[in-house]
Structure 1
Amino acid sequence: MWVPRGKTSLVPVEIENMSPENTEMPVRSVQDHSFRRPPSYWPNPLENGCDWPDQARPPEKMKHSIKLVDDQMNWCESAMEYLRDQTDMLVVGVIGLQGTGKSTIMSLLSANAPEEDQRGYVFRAQTQEIKERGGNQSTGIDFYITQERVIFLDTQPILSPSILDHLINNDRKLAPEYKLPHTYVEMQSLQITAFLFTVCHVVIVIQDWFTDINLYRFLQTAEMLKPSTPSASHDSTGSSGTEEGSEYYPHIVFLQNKSIRDEFCPRNLKNMHMAVDKLMAHSHLKYKGTLSMLDCNIFPGLDRDYLETEVNMFLLPRANQSRVRGRPSLLSPPGLQRTPHLLLSGLQASQPNPVHVPLSHTILTEKNWFHYAARIWDGVKKSSALSEYSRLQAKQHCQPVVMNTGGNGCPFPT
Structure 2
Amino acid sequence: MEKPIVLMKSREEGKGPAGASEGAAQLPTAAAKGEKEGQRPTQPVYQIQNRGMGSAASSSTMDPVVGQAKLLAPEKMKHSIKLVDDQMNWCDSAIEYLLDQTDVLVVGVLGLQGTGKSMLMSLLSANQPEEDQRAYVFRTQSQEIKERGGNQTSGIDFFITQERIIFLDTQPILSPSILDHLINNDRKLPPEYNLPHTYVEMQSLQIAAFLFTVCHVVIVVQDWFTDLIFLQNKAKRENFCPRNLKQMHVVIDKIMMHSHLKYKGTLSMLECNIFPGLPYDYLDTEVNLFLLPFADSDADDTFPRAAPGGGPLFSLLPGYKGHPSFQSLMAKLRSQIMSMARPQLSHTILTEKNWFHYAARIWDGVKKSSALSEYSRLLA
TM superposition score category, shorter chain reference? 0.7 to 0.9
Aligned to 2:208: 193
Aligned to 1:224: none
Aligned to 1:165: 180
Matched, 1:371 2:357: yes
Matched, 1:333 2:319: yes
Aligned to 1:284: 260
The count of corresponding residues between Structure 1 and Structure 2 is 308
Which of 277, 296, 311 is matched with 2:287 structurally? 311
How far apart, in 2, do the equivalents of 1:49 and 1:158 lie? 55
Distance 1:43 1:115, change over 3 A: farther
How far apart, in 2, do the equivalents of 1:354 and 1:208 lie? 24
CA offset at residue 255 of structure 1? 0.6
SS in 2 for 1:142: strand
Which of 362, 369, 379 is matched with 1:383 structurally? 369
Matched, 1:154 2:169: yes
Residue segments in structure 1 that go unaligned for 5+ positions in a row: 1-6, 8-41, 217-252, 395-414
Greater RCO structure (CA 8 Å; 6+ sep): 1
CA contact (8 A) 1:296 1:342 kept: no
Aligned to 1:243: none
CA contact (8 A) 2:156 2:169 kept: yes
User: 354-363 vs 253-262, which deviates more?
Assistant: 354-363
Superposed counterparts of 1:68-107, under 5 Å: 68-107=83-122
Superposed counterparts of 1:233-248, under 5 Å: none
How far apart, in 2, do the equivalents of 1:183 and 1:332 lie? 50
CA contact (8 A) 1:87 1:366 kept: yes
CA offset at residue 319 of structure 1? 2.3
How far apart, in 2, do the equivalents of 1:299 and 1:354 lie? 22
How far apart, in 2, do the equivalents of 1:375 and 1:355 lie? 24
**1:160 partner letter:** S
**2:277 partner letter:** G
User: 174-183 vs 143-152, which deviates more?
Assistant: 174-183
SS in 2 for 1:374: helix
CA contact (8 A) 1:317 1:340 kept: yes
CA offset at residue 43 of structure 1? 9.5
**1:370 partner letter:** F
Aligned to 2:230: 254
Matched, 1:183 2:194: no
Superposed counterparts of 1:197-276, under 5 Å: 197-212=212-227, 216=228, 254-276=230-252
The two structures, once aligned, show a CA RMSD in angstroms of: 2.6
CA offset at residue 371 of structure 1? 0.5
Name the TM-score, length of structure 2 as normaliser.
0.76
Aligned to 2:330: 344
How far apart, in 1, do the equivalents of 2:75 and 2:351 lie? 17
How far apart, in 2, do the equivalents of 1:195 and 1:209 lie? 25
Runs ≥4 residues deviating over 2 A: 42-50, 321-324, 331-339, 351-356
Q: Percent identity among equivalent residues? A: 72
Residue segments in structure 2 that go unaligned for 5+ positions in a row: 1-6, 8-45, 55-69, 304-316
Bigger radius of gyration:
2
Superposed counterparts of 1:138-153, under 5 Å: 138-153=153-168
Superposed counterparts of 1:1-20, under 5 Å: none
CA offset at residue 379 of structure 1? 0.6
Which of 331, 344, 347 is matched with 1:358 structurally? 344
CA contact (8 A) 1:293 1:343 kept: no
Distance 1:201 1:48, change over 3 A: same
SS in 2 for 1:164: helix
CA contact (8 A) 1:298 1:339 kept: no
CA contact (8 A) 1:142 1:154 kept: yes
- Note the alpha carbon deviations across 1:343-388, whole angstroms, 9 max, x for none: 2122122237676511011110000000000111111111111101
CA contact (8 A) 1:256 1:316 kept: yes
